Structure formats: C-alpha cells, structure tokens
Structure 1
Amino acid sequence: MTTRRKFLTTAAAGAATVPLAAPAIAQSTIKWRMQTYAGSALAAHVAKPAIDKFNAIAGDRMQIDLYSADELVPTNELFRAMQRGTIDAVQSDDDSMASPTEVTVFGGYFPLTLRYSLDVPVLFNRYGLDEIWKEEYEKVGIRHVSAGAWDPCNFATREPVNSLKDLEGKRIFTFPTAGRFLAQFGVVPVTLPWEDIEVALQTGELDGVAWSGITEDYTVGWAEVTKYFVSNPISGAWIGHFFANMDRWNELPDDLKLLFEVCCEQSHYYRQHWYWGGEAYLRVHGDKLELTSIPDEEWAQVEDAAEKFWDEVASESDTKAKVVEIFKQYNADMRKAGKPYRYESA
C-alpha cells in the first residue's frame, strides 16, 4: 500500500515535470421540494416565475422542485408535511394549510381588513406584523420567510347576487375564516380539493366561489362555469406567505437564504401589478362574467359585522388582540390620511 510518506515523496519528486491537477471538490446540489396552494394554471403566475429565477441563479448549488395544489399532499396538510420535512418549503396562506398558530385566523382573507394590495406589505414591514409572524412560526419549527398580497376576494356565482338575501343557502367554496364569517349571512361554506372546483361548479355541487378576484376566475377557468361577479369585496387583498422547514432553512448558506428571500420579494412585486391590472382590465373588457353588486346600505351590514368579528377574534388570545389592534390602528391612519389611501365613498 502507498503510505502517506511515500506519496508525498513521489509527488515532490515529480512536481518539476508533471503539474498536479487542482483537487476535485465534491459538492452535492441542495434539493428542495416546495408545494404551492395554487393549481398549475395559477401557479404559473404566483409561484413559478420566482422559483425559475431562483433555480437559474443558484445553478448547481441548489434547485427547488415546485409542485402545485394537492400534488404531494392535500392543501390542509401542507403545514404538517413541512413541519415533518416531507416538504421543504410552502407557498400558502396560514388558514388554508391549517397552521397551529395564533395568527392562522388572519391568513388568507380576514374579513374587510384590507382595502388595497399595498396594505399588506405596509402592515408587515411598517406596522410590525412580520415580527409577530416570525415569532409565531419559530415556535412550531417553521421559518416565516416573507408575506405579500394577492388579489381581492369577491363572489363569482352561477346565479346573480344583487342583495344579501341572494346569498342565503348558497354553497360557496371559500377559506375557513371567510366561511366562518360569511355563515351569518346564510352562506354554506364548502371545502373541496382545489382541482375539483371547476367540475363542482359545472355539476351544481357548488353555487359559487369566494376565493379570489376576477383575474383568477379567468385564469383558472372558473369564469367558464360561473356567470356573475359580485363587485363588493370581502377583503381587498389575500395575505399569503412563503414558509420553510426551520432545519432546512438553517442548513442553507447565508447567500442562498438571501437569494430565496429576494426571489420571494420579486414574486410579491409581480403579483402587485398582475392582479391590480388584471382586476381592472377584466371588469372593463372581460366578456365572460356579468358584474353585479349588493347596494351600499346593505353591504354596510357586512362591514359592521366584520368589526364585531374582529373583536370576537381579539378576545381569543393576547396575540390575536395585538394583531387586531394593529389592523384597527392602520385603518384609522389610512382614513385620516384621506385620498388616495381611503375614499369615504368606497
């Protein structure tokens, strides 16, 4: 056998005539699996562009395999799968993936809290929600990477809705918290796998959806199987997030953590203009959904009920009370700031 001493002697003797090659360093590519709440047509906008950019920049150092809604696990099991490490990262709202945290109720569409999509990043980056979310998720072994806004939440229905009475008995696919709130107006919340919604609308198993704005209704095919779009928003923006298993996150080099954060922020920016422009354009130029609305004086009942709902949620824990207080302070600030932040007639 070649001893270490003999190897060094031989190498030194031959150094003058045979240059030593640089040592090969074995470096395995880091592989992550990430699942989004969105089906494939929607994921092409809300997730894929950012992950494609990440993979292109990270190269053979790291690659993320992206899966759409329910491909690996059902959406309501996303949190547990990520916590166990079955999935390394998730794009979702807290509510849909059933996070066991004090802030879960605020994920997705918290009723009538937000007017515009820009409200979300301001609340997280200037009013302290980011710190609260990070603390809550760290307790359960999850890294809260980033929060951003998606579209508003409106009803898209098979039959016209021109009053609150028209909502009574309607079987609506929506988020858990939104369903809990809307039940007082006779809405029957229904939970189904995302990919089953279009067929359920075709067969009449569902009367409508309160899951998105008009952009998604067109993008994912729901505009083909509903006829009406109700202009009154349950919320002005969906609050969604990027999350990662804490152990997987801590294993990453700092520059890859930073790259992932930057790509998440780019994703938030893309959605800001994609949704904002899409909501307006399709209301004006879309040819598949007829716009209806509930009169302002009736919708005021929903707005009043929302404030009572906030207080109900705030009474459940100190953390929830803290978040609700931030929402109230923020909305008070926006009203005092006046136009264009808030229009009294809106």
Structure 2
Amino acid sequence: MTTRRKFIKGAAVAAPAALATPALAQSTIIWRMQTYAGAALAAEVVVPAIETFNKIAGDRMQIELFFADQLVPTGELFQAMQRGTIDAVQSDDDSMASPTEVTVFGGYFPFGSRYSLDVPVLFNQYGLKEIWDDEYSKVGVKHISAGAWDPCHFATKDPINSLEDLKGKRVFTFPTAGRFLSQFGVVPVTLPWEDIEVAVQTGELDGIAWSGITEDYTVGWADVTDYFLTNNISGAWIGHFFANMERWNELPEDLQALLEVCMEQSHYYRQWWYWGGEANLRVNGTKMKLTSIPDEEWAQVENAAVKFWDEIAAESETKAKIVDIFRKYNADMQKAGRPYRYG
C-alpha cells in the first residue's frame, strides 16, 4: 500500500493537467489553480471550464490546473491561496479548512438541501452569496461563485440495512459530515483523496461517504466497494471557485467576467451530469448493490440534523443567520409542495 501510494503521488505531481494552450506572449497572465478533485473526477467537474477559459483568453491569460494534493494538501489550499502560492482554488470550505464563519456549511451540511437546484437558489435568492462574499473579503480571498455537486451517500464493503450497521464503520468523509455521523457510531477517517481506493482494498477503510454514485463509478470507488446506500444526509455538496484577492483585482474586468462565465458554465454542467448520472447508475449500474434503511428508522438521522443545526447556530451570530436561512428555505420548499418537496 505504501509503495502504491508513493507511486500515485509521484505521478500526480509530475505535471499540471494537460490543457491545450496557445503560444504564449511574454505579457500572458499565468494563474495556477488547484482543485479538490483527483484527475478522473476533475475531468468532469473543472477541466472543461478551464479549457474553455484558456481557449477564449488566448495569450492574454492562461490557467494551469492542478489536481488534488498536487501542489499542497487539500487541507492547506486556503492558506496557499491566501498567501498567493496558488492563485485560485476549486473546493468546498470544509475540506480546505477555511478560517471563516461559513466553513461548516461547505461540503455536505446535513440535510441542508434535498436537490442540487437548492444550492444556487440558496445563494442567489436567499442571501448566502452575500454572506460568503463578505466572509472571504475579510480574509483576502475572492469568492467567485458557488454551485452544487452530487448528494452524499455511503459506498461500503458490507451492506447497510439499518443504523446499527453503521456502528464502527471507518469511513472517509468530510469534516462536518463526519462530526454529524459520529453520533451514529461512524468513525470518520481523513486521508489524501488519491489514497482512498487503496485504503478500502486493504481494509483501512470500511467505506466512503464522500459522494453520490456517479463519482463512485467515475473515480473507481465502485470497483472496490460492493454496496450503495440510497439514503443520503444531503442532497448536494456545496462547492466554490475562489481566487487570491490581489490576483483577482489585478485582472481586467473582461477577464474577470470571462472567469465568472466559465465557472457558471461549470456549475450548470454538473447540474445535469450528476442528476442524470445518479439515476442512470442506480438503474443500469452493475458494480454495486443498492440497499436502503427504512424511512421510519432513517427519520432518527433527520431528527438528529435538526439538533445539529441548533448546535451550529449557537456557535456564532453569523452561523445562526445562515442556519435561519436554511430553515426558512426548507420550510418554504415544504409549503410549496410538489415538485419542490414530497411528504
């Protein structure tokens, strides 16, 4: 395992993502961006957007894209961007250890959303964007945009048919999701992203609660896990694009606008790629057997999320404001009824 890990890491840092670039002029602005995603996943969630940006920007500006942990560990992404070691980042707040009031809400905030469309509505219509912009401006980072990824499900070696089956399971997950799930006996484990497949194979991990089924197939985790739990603790991962504030302010307005447009296109691409992929692989996938925890038992997890929200809200005024937004949004969706919420 150690040998394979060293090989994977060695191969990963050999070069940035292979993006086609034109002949560059001496005046070309060069940015380095690192994503939270490994190479296979990045090919879907960020490479197309950066390729498009580089093609349009031409010799005015080019972005060199690096995958998970290539330049710095994911947990150090924020610090590296703040210092200017990295110009831009694609990540959730939680994974990159953002020192802001919003960190706990990045990634998978338990039951904060049911569908991927909830995320852009929360940011653009319910006020989260303004809060994120303000929090990151305080620490010298530009929050460019937020978008939705996939829901959070368990992929495991052993079948999960009840909450009892979760007890003692060593699971790779996000910090906040792990904090929440630990009350049900889950043992959160933190490892470099590229190590996860090997860790499941060797028994270091019992499973993964880091994605939906689309990513399980895309990155190879479906090859080393046997079961997929259809219950999830969140309908969509909340991720973002960020930039060092000084680097951002140095850009001409049209390049800033181009970055924003390309990143919004990236968010849109994921809306249908994940939404269709999740359904398709549940129906047609052949690598993992689907299991479910009965609704009446899973309600214990949903009820625990309400208490978890209260716990987070008690930590600060800003967190309380954000929790209130999540509460209002979900109450509005429930009142709106079908197709926004069922039951």
Give the greater-gyration-radius structure (CA): 1
Residue identity in the other structure for 1:296: D
Residue 51 (structure 2) pairs with residue 89 (structure 1): no
Displacement of 1:39: 0.2
Give 2:314's aligned residue: 315
Task: Say whether 1:182 aligns with 2:171.
Answer: no
Matched residues in 2 for 1:30 and 1:84: separation? Answer: 18
The C-alpha deviation readout for 1:304-341, integer Å capped at 9, x for no partner, is: 00000000000000000000000000000000000000
Residues 10-56 of structure 1, C-alpha deviations (whole Å, 9 max, x = no match): xxxxxxxxxxxxxxxx8600000000000000000000000000000
Amino acid at match of 2:259: F
1:57-72 to 2 correspondences below 5 Å? 57-72=56-71
Partner deviation per Cα, 1:214-246 (whole Å, 9 max, x = no partner): 000000000000000000011000000000000
CA distance in 1, matches of 2:249, 2:105: 27
**Does 1:218 pair with 2:217?**
yes
Partner of 1:173: 172
Q: Give the deviation of 1:113 after TM superposition.
A: 1.1
Corresponding position of 1:48: 47
Structure 2 match to 1:205: 204
Match in the other structure for 1:9: none
TM-score scaled to structure 1, two decimals?
A: 0.92
Q: CA RMSD in A?
A: 0.6
- 1:149 offset after TM fit, Å? 0.1
Task: Kindly report structure 1 stretches of 4+ aligned residues shifted beyond 6 Å.
Answer: none
Query: Cα deviations across residues 97-140 of structure 1 (Å, max 9, x unaligned)?
Result: 00000000000000011000000000000000000000000000
Between the aligned partners of 1:222 and 1:271, the Cα distance in structure 2 is: 19
Structure 2 CA distance for aligned equivalents of residues 89 and 27 of structure 1: 21
Alpha-carbon separation, structure 2, partners of 1:223 and 1:234: 19
Distance 2:131 2:179 in 1: 24
CA distance in 1, matches of 2:84, 2:318: 27
Q: How does 1:222-301 map to 2 (within 5 A)?
A: 222-301=221-300
Query: 2:232 aligns to what SS in structure 1?
Result: coil
Measured in 1, the distance between the counterparts of 2:293 and 2:246 equals 48
Q: Does 1:155 align with 2:159?
A: no
Alpha-carbon distance in structure 1 between the residues aligned to 2:336 and 2:270? 25
SS in 1 for 2:64: strand
Unaligned 5+ segments in structure 1 are: 1-25
Distance 1:196 1:302 in 2: 29
1:77 correspondence with 2:76: yes
| Identity, % of aligned positions | 80
For structure 2, the 5+ residue unaligned runs are 1-24
